[in-house]
Structure formats: C-alpha cells, structure tokens
C-alpha cells in the first residue's frame, strides 16, 4: 500500500515557537510509519522554511527551555495553484515529491490565525485543523467572544481596548464594569503569553503595557473564581466531545512557565471530578462553541466552572498543543483514543474535508 506523505509544518515566527517544536516531536513520534511518510518542514524564528531530517531536526529536544530547530540550509518555497508538487527546494532547484496532506502545528501568530491556512488553501493542499476564517476568529479573543456571546453562550465578561485608547481607560472604570480583579491579555496570542493579573492601578498599568508589547488590541476580562476545565472536540460535520479534564495550578494562574517550563506547580486531573450533569453541560457547550465558530477537525475549548456550577467559555484553541503535558491528546486518551489513533483520525478528517470542498462549484 502506498504511504501518504504527511508534511509536518512546525516552529514558526511566533512567541510560541518552542511549544510548536515540542508538539511536532510528539506528532512525528506518534505517526504510524506503516501508513504515513513524514516530511518535516521547519520554520525558523526568522521566517525561513527548511526541509528537515527526522534524525536531527531538533537541538536539546528534551529540554523545554532550550529546545531549538536545527539549521539545514535546505530552504523551501511553496508553489501556489494546483501543481502536483507544492514545495520547491531552492538550493537544488527542484520539486519535492508530492505531499498528500499537511499537519500544521505552528502555534500562535502566522500559524493558527488563518495566515498559514490561507497559504495551504491557495496551494491546493489538504491540512489538519480549521479553515481560514475559523482559525482567524478563534485566535482573536475579542471576535470569538463576541460571536459566542451573540449566539447565547456564556463567556467571561470582557472589555476590548485598542492601543490608542488603552491608557485613557482607568482602572476605576474597569473595576466598575468587571470587578476588582481582572486579567489583561493580548487579543491575538496563546499559551498565556503577555497575560497579567491586575488588582490595583499599578498592576493594571503594568499589565496594559505588557499586553501591548504583543498586540495592538487587548482584552480585559473579569477574574472568575472557579475551576479551570478543558474539553476536546474532534470532527467535521459529525462531532464528538472528549472527557473533561481539570488544571490545578498552585500559583496565581496558568502561565506560560507553568505550562511548559516549571511543570511541578501544575496538576492535571483527567477525568475531572465533576458531577455528571456539569460534565455533560461542558461537553454540550464545547460542541456548540465549535459549531458557532465554524471550526473543523479539532479544537480544545477551555472553561471556568464556579462554585455555583455556572459554566463560562474562556477560549477556543484550534491548534491545541501536543506537548508532553498538553490536554488535547490526554483527554482523548482518557476517552479511549490513543495518540497514534488520534493523529491518524485528524489526518483522515483533513482529507475528508478537502474532498468535500473540492466538489464545490467555483464558477457558474
């Protein structure tokens, strides 16, 4: 049987570059080599795309703080249109063998915000995960929250502020609208990058400054006192929701370092110890949010659950992590779908969606 050639695209010009490297390593290791032939395409922080060797694509692969992408000099360009060979190796001035499907695992900007998905659409390549619009919408916390709220789903109360207006919005006004403690986030970042908790004028101004280092638009949210619960969704038209998991953090909140560097301060409980009706409510909300935002393939939906059992949607992540501690694969493992089977299903879902889209008319 001919193996499908799977382009694993990872790294990226993103603040989540190192997270992507960790995710890619696990996906490559989980790929069933009897069915799939991996083609490793690494993107450096400077933006160059390179063909990588499976034996030597990472430096310090087991150290989350120092992990880095190896330099190969095998620079790639991508060919747009319906060419059978979509990638071109510049130094050899020749095409690579045809890639059948792409598994993009570039977290953050230019990876899960619709940019990369648009490139693959224009190159006529099937790819794992949501399409252009859903990717862009879910990356933007402001836009996604507005859509979810307008669809009648519960989201954490928020205010959106752009750079020019940020310093004119005082903490007293924010406190009146959102409560005495708030989180301030860049609108278009993941992995808690640039996120700060504020509880007075000084911490508020510092948090605004930090968030604006990463985005020109920021989201200010009420600090919900509750449990952090996550649920995974998979599918295109027919959707399934995973078991629920809980993140228990010993510090103030789930920061980048507690996610990927200092894992000792975090406990992950799968399944989460929730009453059955609460768990079913979270799963139902996860499926509804997935549909409202037009997601496809996969997503991880993050929630807060209060002592009164009120459920709030926090964020929707269309390219969830696949690191050693990432919830998405762990939730599916608890639900009876192991790592190898999960990666295979996601690839097949990408091919299924591509086939359906290919049948749509483009002309009258």
* Structure-token match 């549909």, residue found: 291
Contact 187, 215 (CB under 8 A): yes
Beta strands in 54-207 (DSSP E): 58-59, 68-69, 76-78, 87-89, 94-95, 101-104, 158-162, 182-186, 196-198
How remote is the C-alpha of 59 from its chain's centroid? 23
| Candidates 3.40.640.10, 3.40.950.10, 3.40.720.10, 3.30.1490.20; CATH matching 157-222 | 3.30.1490.20
E strand intervals along 136-180: 158-162
Q: Which residues lie below 8 Å from residue 157, measured CB to CB, with a gap of 6+?
A: 177, 178, 221, 222
> In the prediction, which pLDDT does 277 show?
96
Position 215 pLDDT exceeds 60: yes
Contacts of residue 160, defined as CB under 8 A and 6 or more positions apart, other chains included, come to 142, 187, 217, 218, 219, 220
Q: What is the pLDDT of residue 192?
A: 74
Angstrom distances, CA of residue 185 to CA of 173, 182, 231: 17, 10, 22
90 pLDDT higher than 90 = no
Question: What is the rounded average pLDDT of the residues 239-253?
Answer: 86
- The fold of the 4-127 domain, in CATH, is Rossmann fold (3.40.50)
Q: Which of 96-100, 112-116, 208-212, 311-315 has the weakest average pLDDT?
A: 96-100
User: Which fold does the domain 227-358 belong to in CATH?
Assistant: D-amino Acid Aminotransferase; Chain A, domain 1 (3.30.470)
Q: Helix (H, G, I), strand (E, B), or coil: what is residue 348?
A: helix
pLDDT per residue as tens digits for the range 28-57: 999 999 999 999 999 999 999 999 999 989
Per-residue pLDDT of 252-297, as tens digits, reads: 655 555 544 455 668 899 999 999 999 999 999 999 999 999 999 9
Using CA atoms, how far apart are residues 364 and 352, in angstroms rounded to an integer?
24
Rounded to whole angstroms, how far apart are CA atoms 314 and 311?
Answer: 9
| Domain limits, CATH 3.30.1490.20, in the chain | 157-222
Instruction: Please tell me the distance from the alpha carbon of residue 153 to that of residue 144, in angstroms, as a whole number.
Output: 11
Residue-wise pLDDT tens digits, 111-148: 899 999 999 999 999 999 999 999 999 999 999 999 99
Residue 205 near residue 161 (C-beta atoms within 8 A): no
Domain span(s) for CATH 3.30.470.20 in the chain: 227-358
Would you place residue 1 in the very low, low, confident or very high pLDDT band (cuts 50, 70, 90)? low
Given a contact cutoff of 8 angstroms between Cβ atoms, the answer to whether 239 and 296 are in contact is: no
Region(s) of the chain under CATH 3.40.50.20: 4-127
Q: In what order do the strands lie in the sheet with 158-162?
A: 158-162, 217-222, 182-186, 196-198
In eight-state DSSP terms, residue 127 is B
Euclidean distance between CA atoms 135 and 55, whole angstroms: 31
Residues counted in the chain: 364
Residue-averaged pLDDT of the chain: 90
Helix axis angle for 327-334 and 339-358, nearest 10°, is 100
Q: What is the pLDDT of residue 109?
A: 82
Three-state SS annotation for 259-278: HHCCHHHEEEECCCCCCHHH
Our CA angle for 73, 77, 79, nearest 5°, is 160
Kindly report, residue by residue over 166-202, the tens digit of the pLDDT.
878 999 999 999 999 999 999 887 657 889 999 999 9
Phi (first) and psi of residue 73, to 5 degrees: 80, 0
Burial class (CB within 10 angstroms; exposed 0-12, middle 13-18, buried 19+) of 289 = buried
Residue 356: partners with Cβ closer than 8 Å, 6 or more residues away:
236
């Amino acid at each position: 049987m001919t193996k499908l050639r799977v382009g694993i695209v990872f790294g990226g010009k993103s603040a989540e570059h190192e997270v992507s490297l960790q995710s890619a390593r696990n996906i490559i290791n989980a790929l069933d080599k009897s069915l799939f032939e991996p083609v490793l395409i690494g993107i450096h922080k400077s933006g160059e795309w390179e063909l990588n060797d499976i034996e030597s694509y990472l430096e310090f692969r087991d150290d989350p703080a120092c992990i880095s992408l190896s330099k190969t000099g095998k620079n790639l360009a991508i060919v747009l249109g319906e060419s059978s060979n979509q990638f071109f190796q510049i130094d050899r001035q020749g095409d690579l063998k045809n890639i059948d499907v792409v598994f993009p695992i570039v977290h953050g900007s230019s990876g899960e915000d619709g940019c990369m998905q648009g490139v693959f659409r224009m190159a006529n390549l099937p790819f794992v995960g949501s399409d252009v619009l859903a990717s862009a919408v879910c990356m933007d916390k402001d836009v996604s929250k507005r859509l979810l709220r307008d669809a009648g789903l519960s989201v954490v109360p928020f205010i959106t502020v752009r750079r020019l207006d940020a310093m004119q919005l005082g903490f007293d006004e924010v406190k009146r609208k959102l409560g005495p403690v708030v989180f301030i986030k860049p609108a278009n970042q993941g992995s808690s990058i640039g996120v700060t908790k504020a509880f007075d004028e000084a911490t508020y101004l510092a948090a605004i400054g930090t968030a604006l280092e990463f985005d020109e638009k920021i989201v200010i949210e009420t600090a919900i006192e509750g449990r952090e619960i996550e649920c995974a969704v998979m599918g295109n038209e027919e959707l399934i929701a995973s078991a629920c998991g809980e993140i228990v953090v010993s510090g103030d909140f789930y920061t980048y370092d507690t996610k990927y560097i200092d894992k000792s301060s975090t406990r992950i409980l799968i399944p989460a110890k929730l009453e059955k009706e609460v768990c079913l409510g979270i799963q139902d909300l996860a499926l509804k949010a997935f549909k409202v935002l037009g997601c496809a393939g996969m997503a991880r939906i993050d929630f807060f659950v209060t002592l009164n059992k009120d459920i709030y949607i926090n964020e929707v992540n269309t390219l969830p992590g696949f690191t050693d501690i990432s919830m998405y694969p762990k939730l599916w493992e608890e639900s009876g779908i192991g790592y190898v089977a999960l990666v295979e299903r996601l690839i097949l879902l990408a091919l299924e969606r591509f086939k359906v889209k290919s049948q749509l008319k483009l002309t009258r």
